[in-house]
Structure 1
Amino acid sequence: MKNIKFMCNDLKHSFNKIIEGNKEWMDFVKNDTSGRFEQLAKGQNPEILWIGCADSRVPANELTGTKPGEVFVHRNIANVCVHSDMNMLSVLDYAVNVLKIKHIIVAGHYGCGGVAAALSRNQFGIIDNWLSHIKDVYRLHAEEIDTISNPEKKADRLVELNVEEQVFNLCTSSIVQNAWKNGQPLAVHGMVINIASGELIDQNCTFTNNESLGNVFSFE
């Protein structure tokens, strides 16, 4: 707090909004009579793992109408789920094997800047290495995507396909495979957010077992 006096006025103002917002939240918690915050202080028991984009416009709780403690959340640029990402895998492992969540939702959104960047030939810096995962999704579906002339619609279609591919990646992870093998009830869903309407659109790519993943992906 000592260093706040060295901030320029704009930074100080935006920082103070955070502090004031927290005070309002503390007052809300203090005056809540439901007892839920006392329960939350003792632990969490969510049924949903939400893997979404880091975009500031797509917060999980607001979109799903859920309360604190009901959704376990992991977010990154363009909701990518790859088997080399230890951050995502650690969240997935904890959610599945410790919290025993019942649903995993991969949530993309229309107007995703990461997906649009992946469709371009521009360089953006270190993030280019991350965007290469989305470029791989484009490579798998280039024939379809290249038939779309409108750039916005092209990006939106890649958003949908990216969600489907990330769902598949989760389903082929050892964590999800072993949960199914052990008889744990677990569903993996793909959804896309329409920011303008707030709608969460089911992409009809839900998996509850490994039977339709293909032989090489269905562990015994």
Structure 2
Amino acid sequence: MKSKILRKLCVYAVSASMMLPVAVPVAAAKAPVVSQVKDPFVLHGLNYITAYLYEGDSLQLRSTVPSSKLNRISGSYRWVSNNPRTVSVSSNGRITAKKCTSSSIGKAIITLKKGNWEISKCMVMVKPRIQFSTRTRTAKKGTTLKIQVPDEPISVSCSSSKVTFDLDKNYIKIKCLKKGTATITLTVNKNGTYKDEYHTRKTYRFNVNVK
């Protein structure tokens, strides 16, 4: 009788020991791999981070990231355009605006890479080519010429007091005061808004003959 009771107690003891949690040794977690380059400089490492070009225009991009940082990255340099049909880029960072597919503005992002790292980016906007004639205009004394100008920020200057001018929306009104010839200079995008924002500057000159 006692032996049966002892056997039952042993069974209960073994069962209870199997239900207790067992401490399992855990391997030490690996330390996270720290990148060679700690400072992010994407979008802030080119001479221009935004560029507005017209069809056919070109612009040279270059990195402004210190070489002390770039030398810590292994691999070779690569310039990449995410839309080469709109903006192409050469192996040395010269971008060229292609023909727009419509009257709207084309867009492309140019990325400078080294190895597997993205160093810098530039957003490029491509606008249709400006249509403006520089032919000589002829008018009589006392009359006013009305000439349509590009729908862009512009400045106008004149080489002679024989005419005066006034900007009215997308037109320039030229008053012919005296007989003779005057040269009108029209500059598109004369002043940039930000240092790292590029706007193609266009200059057009034409003569006005007053009879």
Fold match by TM threshold 0.5 = no
- Greater strand share, structure number: 2
TM-score (normalizing by structure 2): 0.25
Query: Higher Cα Rg: structure 1 or 2?
Result: 2
TM-score (normalizing by structure 1): 0.25
